[in-house]
Amino acid sequence: MADDQGAGTTAEAPSSEVVIEALSREDGKNSTVRVYRDRIEWIKEVSISSLPRGRSDPPVIPLHTVASVKAKKDGPLFAKVVLRTATGQIVFRMHQPQALAVRDAIDGLLSGAASGPSEG
């Protein structure tokens, strides 16, 4: 019954499909941003010396907590994707085409969630 503790069960859920994945770069370190239909995962690379003792899950931002999303130019090649939530801002820095694609994907999901479920 509760023996699995949810391990491996998300593969069958419709929200497990990645809508878009992009590489973000903050403070000289890469991280991967994965947008799902119901959440955004931010997977940060860590060095061997900074590994925690136990396994840590990536930070997850539930999509329903995102109030708005914007892309702001940050130099000639990069842009920042700014997510505004009730608790503050979350910023991802990525190449401009990726930033625009991530912004559009999240904005589309937010627009779809705001209009309610619809077929077609």
Q: Cβ(62)–Cβ(38) under 8 Å?
A: yes
Q: Give residue-wise pLDDT tens across range 43-98.
A: 887 666 555 555 556 789 999 999 999 999 999 999 999 999 989 999 999 999 99
User: What was the pLDDT predicted at 16?
Assistant: 81
For the chain, list the domains and their CATH numbers: 15-115 (2.30.29.30)
Q: What is the mean pLDDT of residues 4-33?
A: 72
User: What was the pLDDT predicted at 11?
Assistant: 40
User: What was the pLDDT predicted at 52?
Assistant: 59
User: What was the pLDDT predicted at 84?
Assistant: 96
Which positions ≥6 away from 24 have C-beta within 8 Å? 30, 31, 32, 33, 42, 92, 93, 94
